[in-house]
Homo-oligomer: A and B are copies of this chain.
Amino acid sequence: MKGKIDLASGSGGEATKKLVSELFLKYFGNRELQKLADSALVNVEGKIAFTTDSFVVKPLLFPGGDIGKLAIFGTVNDLSVMGAKPLFISCAFIIEEGFDSEKLEKVVKSMAEAARQAKVEIVCGDTKVVEKGAADEIFINTSGIGKIIYSRLEPSRIKVGDAIIITGAIAEHGMAVMCAREKFFDKTPIKSDCAPVTDLILPLLKGKIELHASRDPTRGGLAAVLNELAASAKVGMMIVEDAIPIKPEVKYACEMLGIDPLYVACEGRAVIFCPESEAKKALSKIQKHPQGKDATIIGKVTKGNKVILKTAVADRILDAPSGLLLPRIC
């Protein structure tokens, strides 16, 4: 597709139809979406997981991903960490008038590829176009439906003594976006970790490994997630700084910029809570997946109500993030 997206493309008339058929149906095409009905009709038996996320990341394209891939995997991950098999995704675009059609096509193509990779179908959608200046290029909402297959993973099931596992190195997505946006460095090897976590979690449940809860540490990073879960499960947590996997280039960039990587978003990692007795089994299964090779046990659930970071020097309280760290990271 060439040219610019104009207001007519969001009017519901012929121009919208052209955009939908030449772009969305071309890349997302499946039987249900093709009907272009007011709702998709889908089959899910039993209990379902339902989630929504809007993506406003800036820049739209960054090393390791783009807003489209992020939107698909972000929603896929919100389903996966609840023990659900992601099935159906909705996709709603808010586009700024004058947005480049080729850039839109790149994003749409990337969403289609991500959906294929995550084995989900984009079954319904919506397109709005607002005047130039009323939005910043493009915002994407993806909502998702998954089937709860194996068990319910819920924060309330976290118990004192549980092991805390992280499935890979932290802070990569946030630092990749930030470096791409602010151009702090001429060139960095830091790439977003943006990926589906489904195959790191569901096989454990399928293998009858008992898990209590899991979550993907996105906005606010590992520190936010641990604090949230500690508060909702009414427990404390203790994690060991040296055990937390982090790539040297990410650590270096964080140090240079005075940013604590524990507060920086991941988009392809999960934190998993399981009974200590299950931890080694879980870990070895996760590590067999290429995306889980750096998975580690980083700590355990304790009594109390604080998240403590054990460093080489001393123990310190790892607070929930307050104020603003990095806007528009997802």
Contact = CB atoms under 8 A, between A and B. Distances in A.
A154 B145 CA distance: 22
Interface string A1-18: 000001110111111110
17 contacts: A8-B324, A11-B325, A11-B327, A12-B219, A13-B322, A16-B219, A37-B155, A40-B51, A41-B82, A42-B48, A50-B123, A51-B90, A52-B141, A53-B126, A56-B130, A126-B141, A131-B328
Contacts of A324: 6-8, 11, 15
Interface size class of A (residues with CB under 8 A): 35 or more
B131 A134 contact: no
Contacts of A148: 41
A139 B39 CA distance: 21
A152 interface: yes
A284 to B, nearest CB: 25
Given A82-B38, A322-B13, A128 B50 contact: no
A40 B49 contact: yes
Contacts of A152: 41
A323 B39 contact: no
Interface in A296-330: 320-328
Contacts of A195: none
A57 to B, nearest CB: 10
Contacts of A176: none
Contact of A139 (B11, B14, B135, B154): B135
Nearest to A53: B126
A131 to B, nearest CB: 7
A92 interface: yes
